[in-house]
Structure 1
Amino acid sequence: MAFAAGMSFTAPAPVMAFGAPESFAELADKISPSVVNITTSSVVSGPAQAGPMVPEGSPFEDFFNEFGDQGQGQGEPRRSEALGSGFVISEDGYIVTNNHVIEGADEITIEFFSGQKLPAKVVGTDPKTDIALLKVETDKALPFVAFGNSDLMRVGDWVVAMGNPLGQGFSVSAGIISARNRELSGTYDDYLQTDAAINRGNSGGPLFNMDGQVIGVNTAILSPNGGSIGIGFSMASNVVNKVVDQLKEYGTTRRGWLGVRIQDVTPDIAESMALAAAEGALVTDVPEGPAKEAGMQPGDVIQLFNGQEIKDAGDLTRRVADAPVGEAVPVVVLRDGKTETLQVTLGLREEAEAKTFPAAQPGGAPEAKSLDLLGLTLEPLTRDLRDRMGLAPDDQGLVVTKVDPMSEAYTKGFREGDVITEAGQQKVARLSDLEARIQEAKDAGRRSILLLIRRDGDPRFVALTVN
């Protein structure tokens, strides 16, 4: 092989590989006393399986079916038991577990590693992160563990899970962090994924780092058969720690509330708005609330919240939730190509959640004709259409009466009954308004136009190609 004269080559830096620990025994000895088994009891009205739930096809299934329901009549009220795990976080008896472990329970019994059993009471729960805080009363100090910083965990780091899998008692499994920042179905999800064995009964148990600190609460598994296949999810400790502090102080959560509807900035939306990057949270609606009082508007792109960069809508939601209620925080938005800083005094989400966000009511006079454009058949809102769709008398915009199933609009979710209220971040009431906005986008050299649509009052921005 020949090399050109004068050129030099540098070998890549070696990657350090670390083998598995020689043993997890010392760590297991250290953490075991703080881990607990949780048994819950409740009265159910129909046939129920007494004892621990096991996956279908499990070798333990026949055992529990044979001995679990003896002496119980069909359809009669009966007491049902379920099992889970948890861990002690203070010497005076505070215990963390999953909300779904204790939900609906009449009695909660904690079994410690020593074999001691104590009744527990619920201090508070947070269904949104599936976290519950319990308390036992005891005269002696209990062994406990501390939370670690889940943000420091890297993919590939060793972890240890401990709990009560399938009702078999205290059990330890080891693995690595397989992935970070996983989202399942919750608004505030931030899961660590691990291949450490997690099964039914492990729910609510701790996931430890090698220093014996809790960096996750084992919550869910992905499995076709109910057993571990090496895909488990633990709610990150940095989420859990904040929730636990609030439950301990208030008995409930206290999350910040900005008062906006938002969505991610996709690449096509970024192009249609002439944004440099597909980042930030795009505001689709601003009902009555803190953001509106501070001057925020639909179409604003939130780029910074309280000095922290915002990557997407989920990022903003989590940062707002962690922010102090009742205090003003700076929010930097991009509007019409310029940045503005708004001072928003956050409200309390728990008080605002029950309120229904009203739909926007743009003004203008409609036309009486239809138009086929962008794969959509559109008509201005008439009195008859408003009545049929249950809209307010002064709601205006362009209603979608047909969608070409082969069009980009269909692929991006447009359906009959959707109402377009804005195009190019300007209100539209006439068909000619939309045609004018499309022409303006073309004249500006843009390949797409941003449309604001509403379905059952829920707003969403969608970018459609115009060239």
Structure 2
Amino acid sequence: MKNLFLVILFFGLIIGSQIVFFKENQSSNNQLKFEELTESIIEVKSTNFRGQSNFGSGIIISDDGYIITASHLVNNAATITLVNQGSDFPAKLIGYDQFSDVAVLKSEMNDLRPIKMPNNLDVSIGDKVYALGNPFNLGISVSSGILSATGRNFGNPYLNIFQTDASINRGNSGGALVNQRGEFIGMNISIASISGGSEGVGFALPSDKVISIAQEIIKYGSIKRAWIGDLRFRGISYRDNENQIMPGLLVIGNDKTISGGLEDGDIILKIKGASAIWSTFIASINSIKPGEEIELEVVRKDKLIELKIVTVLKPDD
């Protein structure tokens, strides 16, 4: 019996040591992975024409020096400096889009490690995520959390913003949100906070949107957005001839030189086949290019009509 106990103890020690050994190896691999991830994140510092400084983060997206960051960090900058492994490098602002808060920088740094891109952006609420950035200008660091929600919009449904409880603070803007495979799934842009610090409600712009916007900025220097004029709407409930109630947008002001036939008093019921609510209108306009048509179903003086409005290039704000 004593020998049997010793045998069990012996195998228990072996199994225990193997488990510990595996965990140590796993931890070591994770540490190496995160060290590699941080090499794709850059500290961004900007100074405006009044000498005021700002700081944040950037994400390396190509080995030839293109870096994405948050527009609000650099759109009024006189100088932009990138800090990589303790050394300062100047950066050129290629362009920015205030609508999405995305900006593209260009650097002449060598030996850059672009962030890993997912083959397709497949995320679910509850997924483990990691936020990388430069909080409080302390240097690049990593925090962990989960994907708390998707589809946040704050009046901008086109962006389909992610929410996370990973710690995001001042300086994390422009940094990356990655999944457990270390793939870029979002760019950190803001937090909701009463105290001004992280309270577990951070927001990130999905990476597919970020990259699409960045590619257009690299190609054109700006984003070419569709526009149908300065329109004002009021959301209403419309009752049709069959006594069915549906949402609608009542036109209460428009730029007739651009809005392609919309008139004051028109009630928009459908936008590209979808129910007419403000978020649908914004999303539809921002899903097409200037010169493309947007199809509307409109009630005008109790008659249902269809309009095809040709969009134009949105002028600079």
TM-score tier by shorter-chain length is 0.7 to 0.9
Following superposition, the deviation at residue 128 of structure 1 comes to: 2.2
Distance 1:238 1:280, change over 3 A: farther
**2:296 corresponding residue in structure 1:** 332
Secondary structure at the aligned position of 1:181 is classed as strand
Distance 1:27 1:342, change over 3 A: farther
Secondary structure at the aligned position of 2:282 is classed as helix
Q: Deviations over 1:317-348 (max 9, x none)?
A: 13212311123x25031426765443222101
Following superposition, the deviation at residue 106 of structure 1 comes to: 2.3
Work out the CA distance in 1 between the residues paired with 2:306 and 2:145: 45
**Percent identity between the two aligned chains:** 30
Say which of 54, 66, 73 aligns to 1:101: 73
**2:267 corresponding residue in structure 1:** 300
**2:175 corresponding residue in structure 1:** 205
Q: Does structure 1 residue 349 correspond to structure 2 residue 314?
A: yes
Work out the CA distance in 2 between the residues paired with 1:177 and 1:264: 34
Name the amino acid aligned to 1:206. Answer: A
**2:47 corresponding residue in structure 1:** 41
Work out the CA distance in 2 between the residues paired with 1:169 and 1:184: 30
Q: 1:35 touches 1:87 (CA, 8 Å); kept in 2?
A: yes
Name the amino acid aligned to 2:113. Answer: P
Q: 1:192 touches 1:236 (CA, 8 Å); kept in 2?
A: yes
Normalised by the length of structure 2, the TM-score is: 0.78
Following superposition, the deviation at residue 276 of structure 1 comes to: 3.9
Q: 1:150 touches 1:237 (CA, 8 Å); kept in 2?
A: no
Q: Does structure 1 residue 110 correspond to structure 2 residue 82?
A: yes
Following superposition, the deviation at residue 231 of structure 1 comes to: 0.8
Q: Deviations over 1:257-304 (max 9, x none)?
A: 1236254645xx2348977454454433342244325x6664232413
Q: 1:163 touches 1:170 (CA, 8 Å); kept in 2?
A: yes
Q: Higher strand share goes to which structure?
A: 2
Aligned counterparts, 1:317-328, within 5 A = 317-327=282-292
Name the amino acid aligned to 1:292. Answer: G
**1:90 corresponding residue in structure 2:** 62
Number of equivalenced pairs: 289
**1:195 corresponding residue in structure 2:** 165
Distance 1:217 1:282, change over 3 A: farther
Normalised by the length of structure 1, the TM-score is: 0.55
Distance 1:283 1:39, change over 3 A: same
If asked which structure has higher relative contact order (CA below 8 Å, sep 6+), I would say 2
Work out the CA distance in 1 between the residues paired with 2:243 and 2:230: 21
**1:176 corresponding residue in structure 2:** 146
**2:133 corresponding residue in structure 1:** 163
Say which of 224, 233, 250 aligns to 2:203: 233
Q: Does structure 1 residue 314 correspond to structure 2 residue 284?
A: no
Q: Which stretch of the first structure deviates more once superposed, 90-99 or 230-239?
A: 230-239
RMSD: 3.1
Distance 1:273 1:26, change over 3 A: farther
Q: 2:167 touches 2:200 (CA, 8 Å); kept in 1?
A: yes
Q: Runs of at least 4 residues of structure 1 off by over 6 A?
A: 272-275
Following superposition, the deviation at residue 186 of structure 1 comes to: 5.7
Work out the CA distance in 2 between the residues paired with 1:30 and 1:340: 58
Work out the CA distance in 1 between the residues paired with 2:248 and 2:206: 23
Q: Deviations over 1:137-194 (max 9, x none)?
A: 24x4521125558974322222111001112111001111112222336685532111
Say which of 126, 142, 161 aligns to 2:112: 142
Q: 2:232 touches 2:254 (CA, 8 Å); kept in 1?
A: no
Q: 1:265 touches 1:278 (CA, 8 Å); kept in 2?
A: no
Name the amino acid aligned to 2:271. Answer: L
Following superposition, the deviation at residue 80 of structure 1 comes to: 4.3
Q: Deviations over 1:417-462 (max 9, x none)?
A: xxxxxxxxxxxxxxxxxxxxxxxxxxxxxxxxxxxxxxxxxxxxxx
Work out the CA distance in 1 between the residues paired with 2:307 and 2:314: 20
**2:214 corresponding residue in structure 1:** 244
